[in-house]
């Protein structure tokens, strides 16, 4: 009988969302060769072309394709890729999540609650609760892109969820919100439980939450700095798995209970003692902090002592679009005065509430030693990095749209030009495209470096440049990027298909030569790992590089600005920032010079 009940609104389109397709071998081969060509020498390309053609026409390729298609069609399989991808990219990935996996959002400043961290934190937590209710009840309106519904299943992991360090691959668990209606607050490395409702079950007002956060700040100030158990979650996943076992063994029943309270919380709120001012400082602090006053296995709100705030996303079970939507909801309702924060604070507010409980773990010397090691490794890892923010105010999407060009493709071309300026060649570039129009869809690669982008960038760097010709090349490069973006969103990219075919190999079967070809390694060595998320409520966002000699290059496109956050292992990061600004300005000048030249031609005619 229950199976006849209609699904809740959030999932009303789920039954009509198709499965992720398996592209044809021929189409993937053609796209792949197009993307390899600008990156390698003519001789290397010729060899690669021969290898690809041999593979596509081989019985082995036909067999692998047949296995992949059968996997797609098998009963109970919603998405042929997701299990493999989650394991390789997230759960089976053993490097620390902080720097390598997590991503951060910097919130626009709240002028009303400046220098009032408890008040700012209370408003954010309170404004998050209605969004949680919409998600957990299934009443959240499902997302659509150009009228096409998106899969909403990853929203499950937004609240009351945790990643767990396990060998050889991590796991994740979702807790019941009704029986775990609390958050965890970290201050001076100490953990506190704050219930979100009072004893009779009434949701706390922002004013009452503010009182609780003030109590935590005051309590933590009176005590020495806590043992930084959160640093364990910043470590290599195998080391963290071992350390977690040691921590539990130090006092099995007690410490397991303490951990469960952290892991089952709606979200972690880190109240930091720092007061970051510059974009670089707040980005650093939100991305990594000091590695101690955090719990990296969960989504975290971070509020600083000057009232600034941000969000650190745990990336393993969901990508950035759901967390973006949640943060926007929270920030917009507060900024626009639409959040129901409850009654104003009075002298007696919160007096009926018990003080927040501190979670005090029972630790031994072995645990203390492991924490010290994790802290050292964190400091070494983060110390090897640098981060720069370019907030470019020369123009934004309003200006780009004047030319009827895709702002995202425009900004991708700016990156290509900047890379050419710095290195004299195309940058091997990954742009993330969401594939949530398919069941359990996550991402596909937009290969941004193209023959067209290379031709345009090289022409831009030539001495004798006809602006009309440059504009024509630019339009071709932009159009090609838009086309590949559409392919990727439609599940017709190159990279996930090649990955899937390789995963279909059985033990003992030979690896096709295409996977050993130097062009394959080169064309997926992502020197530029790029992704766009744009919001008027964000003042920055970012993540780390994905290869040692590469850059994390997140960006946002506003009406009148473009902002990049650039991270790397100290690989001339500030220089790339300079070239991005220079390239962005040169594109603007090119378009305007072309416009003037076109008008002169019209006058002559």
Pairing of strands 562-568, 551-557: antiparallel
The Cα 163–Cα 161 span in angstroms is: 7
Inter-residue contact 568 to 550 (CB < 8 Å): yes
Q: Which helix (H) or strand (E) holds 172?
A: strand 171-174
Residue 90 DSSP symbol? I
* Angle between helix 407-423 and 573-604 (nearest 10): 120
Inter-residue contact 530 to 412 (CB < 8 Å): yes
Give 441-502 as a DSSP string. --EEEEE---HHHHHHHHHHHSSS--HHHHHHHHHHHHHHHHHHHHHHHTT--SHHHHHHHH
Residue 417 Ramachandran class (φ > 0 left, ψ -120 to 50 alpha, else beta): alpha
Q: What distances in angstroms separate CA 338 from CA 341, 368, 419, 440, 537, one per listed residue? A: 9, 46, 44, 32, 15
The Cα 229–Cα 293 span in angstroms is: 9
- Max Cα-Cα span within the chain: 87
Structure tokens at 440: 């359990």
Lookup result for tokens 């043992």: 227
Q: Confirm whether 315 is a catalytic residue.
A: yes
Pairing of strands 103-107, 309-313: antiparallel
The residue annotated as part of the active site, out of 315, 388, 481, 497, is: 315
Q: Length of the chain, please? A: 605
Structure tokens at 346: 């009075």
For the chain, the distance separating the N- and C-terminal CA atoms, rounded to the nearest angstrom, is 76
Structure tokens at 407: 């702002």
Among 441, 420, 386, 391, which residue's Cα sits nearest to residue 552? Answer: 386
SS3 355: coil
How far from chain centre, in Å, is Cα 282?
Answer: 17
Catalytic residues: 315
């Amino acid at each position: 009988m229950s199976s006849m009940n209609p699904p809740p609104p959030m999932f009303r389109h789920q039954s009509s969302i198709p499965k992720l397709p398996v592209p044809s071998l021929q189409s993937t081969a053609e796209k792949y060769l197009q993307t390899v060509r600008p990156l390698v020498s003519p001789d290397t390309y010729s060899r690669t072309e021969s290898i690809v053609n041999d593979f596509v026409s081989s019985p082995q390729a036909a067999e692998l394709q047949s296995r992949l298609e059968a996997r797609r069609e098998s009963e109970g399989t919603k998405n042929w890729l997701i299990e493999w991808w989650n394991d390789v990219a997230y759960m089976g990935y053993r490097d620390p999540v902080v720097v390598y996996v997590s991503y951060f959002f910097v919130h626009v400043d709240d002028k009303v609650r400046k220098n009032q961290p408890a008040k700012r934190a209370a408003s954010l937590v309170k404004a998050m609760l209605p969004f949680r209710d919409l998600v957990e009840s299934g009443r959240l309106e499902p997302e659509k892109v150009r009228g096409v519904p998106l899969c909403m299943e990853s929203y499950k992991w937004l609240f009351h969820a945790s990643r767990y360090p396990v060998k050889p691959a991590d796991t994740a668990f979702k807790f019941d919100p009704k029986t775990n209606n609390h958050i965890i607050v970290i201050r001076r490395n100490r953990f506190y439980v704050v219930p979100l409702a009072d004893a009779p079950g009434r949701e706390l007002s922002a004013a009452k939450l503010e009182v609780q956060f003030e109590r935590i700040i005051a309590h933590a100030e009176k005590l020495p700095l806590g043992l930084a158990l959160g640093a364990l979650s910043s470590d290599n996943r195998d080391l963290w798995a071992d350390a977690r076992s040691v921590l539990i063994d130090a006092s099995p029943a007690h410490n397991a209970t303490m951990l469960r309270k952290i892991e089952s919380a709606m979200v972690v709120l880190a109240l930091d003692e720092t007061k970051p001012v510059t974009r670089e400082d707040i980005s650093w602090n939100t991305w990594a902090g000091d590695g101690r006053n955090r719990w990296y296995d969960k989504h975290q709100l971070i509020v600083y002592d000057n009232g600034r705030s941000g969000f650190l996303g745990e990336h393993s079970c969901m990508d950035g679009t759901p967390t973006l939507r949640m943060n926007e909801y929270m920030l917009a309702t507060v900024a626009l005065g639409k959040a129901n924060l409850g009654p104003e604070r009075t002298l007696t507010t919160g007096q009926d509430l018990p003080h927040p409980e501190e979670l005090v773990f029972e630790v031994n010397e072995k645990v203390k030693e492991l924490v010290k090691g994790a802290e050292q490794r964190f400091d070494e890892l983060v110390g090897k990095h640098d981060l720069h923010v370019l907030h470019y105010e020369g123009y934004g999407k309003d200006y780009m749209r004047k030319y009827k060009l895709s702002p995202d493709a425009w900004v991708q071309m700016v990156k290509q030009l900047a890379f050419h300026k710095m290195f004299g060649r195309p940058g091997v570039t990954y742009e993330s495209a969401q594939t949530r129009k398919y069941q359990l869809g996550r991402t596909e690669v937009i290969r941004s470096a193209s023959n067209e982008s290379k031709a345009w960038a090289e022409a831009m760097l030539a001495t004798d440049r006809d602006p009309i010709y440059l504009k024509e090349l630019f339009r071709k490069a932009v159009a090609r990027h838009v086309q590949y973006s559409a392919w990727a969103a439609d599940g017709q990219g190159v990279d996930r298909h090649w990955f899937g075919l390789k995963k279909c190999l059985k033990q003992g079967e030979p690896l096709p030569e295409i996977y050993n070809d130097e062009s394959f390694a080169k064309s997926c060595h992502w020197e530029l790992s790029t992704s766009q998320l744009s919001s008027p409520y964000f003042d920055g966002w970012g993540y780390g590089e994905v290869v040692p000699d590469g850059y994390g290059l997140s960006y946002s496109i506003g009406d009148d600005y473009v902002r990049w956050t650039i991270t790397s292992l100290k690989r001339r990061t500030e220089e790339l920032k300079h070239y991005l600004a220079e390239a962005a300005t040169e594109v603007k000048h090119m378009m305007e010079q072309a416009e003037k030249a076109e008008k002169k031609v019209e006058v002559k005619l």
